[in-house]
Amino acid sequence: MNQIDLLGRHAIVTGAAQGIGRAIATRLLESGAQAWLWDINEAEVTATAKELGDNAHPLRVDVADTDNIDNAVKTVLCEAGQIDILVNNAGISGVNTPLWEYPVDEWRRVIEIDLNGVFYGCKAVVPHMIRQGYGRIVNLASVAGKEGNPNASAYSTAKAGVIAMTKSLGKELADHDIAVNCVTPAAARTAIFDQMSQEHIDYMLSKIPRERFVRVEEIAAMVAWLVSEENSFTTAATFDLSGGRATY
C-alpha cells in the first residue's frame, strides 16, 4: 500500500459506518488523519469508530437535514479547530423501476440524499476551508451518472448532478488551495445491493469489462490521494473507477 501523508489533517466522511465510507475513513486514518465519521445510523457509526481507533470520531448526522449538518460542522470545529477534508459519500440507490412508474416520494428521497446532501455538506464546510486557505473535497458519484442505468433514473440523475456540481464548485474555488473532485465508481458489493433487484445487479456486472465489482479499498486508495496535499493542481475533475466500463 502506498503511504499518503495526511498527518495533522482533519477529515469528515459521510456515510462512514459501513461499505465505501468505512473503507475511505480507514484509509485516511491509516494515512495519519483524524477522521470524523458521519452516518445516520448512530449505533453502527459508534461501533465502527470504536473498531477504527481513537482517531475516529463518530457523529450521528442526517445529510438531508441542513440544521443537523450545520450543528455537526460546529461540533467538528469546536473539537478539532479545522476541517481540511470533506468526503461526501452518503447515499442510497432507490427502487429499481421504469421512470414512468417511479414513486414521486421515492424520487424526492433519492435526490434529497444523493444530490442535495452533497450540496448541503459543501455549503456548510467550504466557507471554513476558504478562511483557513486550504481544503480538499471529494464527492462520490457513480458511472451511472455518466451513462444512466435503466430502472435507476433517480440514482442516475442524482449522480449526474453530483458530477456537474463538482465541476462548478471546483471552478469557483480554483483561485484557492481547495481542490474539488469526484470519483465515478462502478458498483461495489456493499449493503447498498440490498436495495437493488438481482436483475439490476446482474445488469451492472455485465457492463464491466473486468468482470467483477470494484473493491471498496480500491475506491479508498484513489480518494486518499485526491484529498492529500500532493494533489495541488487537479480540481473540478472526474476520476473513473469503472473497470473499463466508462468510455469518456
CB-hemisphere CA count at 13 Å for 219? 30
Sign of the Cα pseudo-torsion (13, 17, 19, 25, in order): positive
CA distance 130 to 96: 40
Query: Tell me, what DSSP letter sits at residue 211?
Result: S
SS3 of the chain: helix, strand, coil, percent, to 5: 50, 15, 35
With H, G, I as helix, E, B as strand and everything else as coil, classify residue 28: helix
Query: Tell me, what DSSP letter sits at residue 188?
Result: B
What cell numbers appear for 227 in the block? 484529498
155 is catalytic: yes
Contacts of 133 (CB under 8 A, 6+ apart): 176, 177
In angstroms, the Cα distances linking 205 to 158, 208, 210, 218 are 21, 6, 9, 17
Residue 100 CB coordination number (10 Å): 6
What cell numbers appear for 123 in the block? 455549503
Could you list the beta-strand ranges (E) of 91-144.
Answer: 135-140
In angstroms, the Cα distances linking 221 to 35, 73, 216, 244 are 16, 25, 9, 18
Active-site residue, selected from the candidate residues 120, 155, 203, 248: 155
- Residues identified as active-site: 155
